[in-house]
Structure 1
Amino acid sequence: MYELANFKDVSFKLAKSNDIVTIKAKCDPAFEGYYEDLIENNQLFVLYSGDILLGIGEFRIFKSNEQYGDIGMIVAEEYHKKGIGAYIITQLKEHCYRNNLKPMACCNPKNIASRKTLEKSGFIANHRIIYVTLK
């Protein structure tokens, strides 16, 4: 499993409603109620070092494809490029395996950092999106 260096008292756990204020302050904004809905459905995880939020991980199962766990992460900006994204993704993959699910993840192909994080965590690109413009 991927380990974090230089961080103390690391904990990765399900997010609770009292994490919302910190999540919204540290992570990319989401549409109203999104994080709350994930927490209510046990689909949002938080990664802390002591009482400092390093990032969050999202885990969802879609009814259209229930054999897969769709995972993703957001790392607080000041902690980018420290291995935190790969750590979160690895933890979420393990969560999928413990629940007899196949992990899957996707990102915008132009988001090089996210793609590299997923590859570092063992994912291999399986599909490509082709953009077509008709004139």
Structure 2
Amino acid sequence: MISVNGATLQEIETMRITYLSSLPEFQDLYLELQIPYADVVILSHCGTIIGYAIMKGGVMLEFFVKDTFGSDINLHFPEIVKTCNVERILVQSFDQVLMKCCSRMNSYHEVGLIYRDFTQVTILRDPDISFRLATLQDLSFLQMQEDEVFEPKDMISTAIEKSEIVLCLSGEMILGCGFITRIHPKWAYYDVGVWVSPEFRLHGYATRILSWLKDTCVNNCWIPVCGCGVENIGSQRTIEKNGFISNHRLLSFNVGHHDNLTSRTTRTSSTVSPSE
């Protein structure tokens, strides 16, 4: 019998570091951004803590069990899902434990592409464009933009203060911007993303912005990573033009009826939203 008890992120910090360290590829920013606003539960078996789960609005975002209990978790996973009222599970395809636990779910679909490998490619510089960090003087312009990459709007000022937004300019005219976000403070993985103002799209600016962000990461010994929606073909082309390679997906498993986890029919931004 597995018992489930509410907890805080601070209470599971040691286990969470173990979980993130165990992944063969690093956590996706799309998931990481939701963690501070999610519900945490500690999992126990016969009075011994064996792991934790993180959920938000019926969606399981993260799941971890200690190695000492790993071989038995498949037997107990349906019970955990039912107890926590999980309706859907987001799984990074490189998360082997959670993938195995979800192998009997009714169905799943791809939500996004996760890019964790890249090759060196040469993107010609445009002498007519320049880059600078956004300042609080740019806040009103950024808050005016109707694009999901700027949501939530009340976090833009924080991103500016953390030097996470870089403007791409032609003279004084803002063509677009890049986002460079450290996914977790204990690791040097930086998610890179792009936005181009609608009137300047289809001119190659997204490719140049992403190239600048990637080079900045490499020059600072940071690891650039990114991701995008599976249906966002334009973003995929821009990302891959910069040498990024996706060998992984973000999957959404449908739990369906909690007591019917025996059949399976097959069928991931992050903030990356570049547009040529």
Same fold by TM-score greater than 0.5: yes
Q: CA deviation at 1:25?
A: 3.2
What CA RMSD, in Å, does the superposition of the two structures yield over aligned residues?
Answer: 2.0
Distance in 1 (alpha carbons) for counterparts of 2:213 and 2:237: 16
Q: Which runs of 5+ in 1 are unaligned?
A: none
Larger relative contact order (CA 8 Å, sep ≥ 6): 2
1:129 is aligned to 250
Distance in 1 (alpha carbons) for counterparts of 2:213 and 2:186: 17
Q: How big is each residue's C-alpha offset from its partner over 1:17-76, in whole Å with a ceiling of 9 and x where there is no partner?
A: 111222233462421322211110111100011121111101111226613111101111
1:49 is aligned to 170
1:15 counterpart (121, 134, 146): 134
- CA spacing shift, 1:64–1:128, aligned 2, 3 Å: farther
Distance in 2 (alpha carbons) for counterparts of 1:4 and 1:95: 14
1:38 is aligned to 159
Contact 1:10 1:49 in 2 (8 A): yes
Q: Which runs of 5+ in 2 are unaligned?
A: 1-121, 257-276
Contact 1:22 1:53 in 2 (8 A): no
Aligned counterparts, 1:16-95, within 5 A = 16-26=135-145, 28=147, 29-63=150-184, 66-95=187-216
Bigger Rg, structure 1 or 2: 2
Moved more, 97-106 or 27-36: 27-36
The one-letter amino acid of 1:19's match is D
Contact 1:27 1:77 in 2 (8 A): no
Is 1:108 the counterpart of 2:205? The answer is no
Q: Tell me, what secondary structure is at the counterpart of 1:110?
A: coil
Moved more, 112-121 or 15-24: 15-24
Contact 1:27 1:74 in 2 (8 A): no
Contact 2:143 2:153 in 1 (8 A): no
The one-letter amino acid of 1:118's match is I
Q: Tell me, what secondary structure is at the counterpart of 2:212?
A: helix
Aligned length: 133
Q: Tell me, what secondary structure is at the counterpart of 2:240?
A: helix
The structure carrying a bigger strand percent of its residues is 2
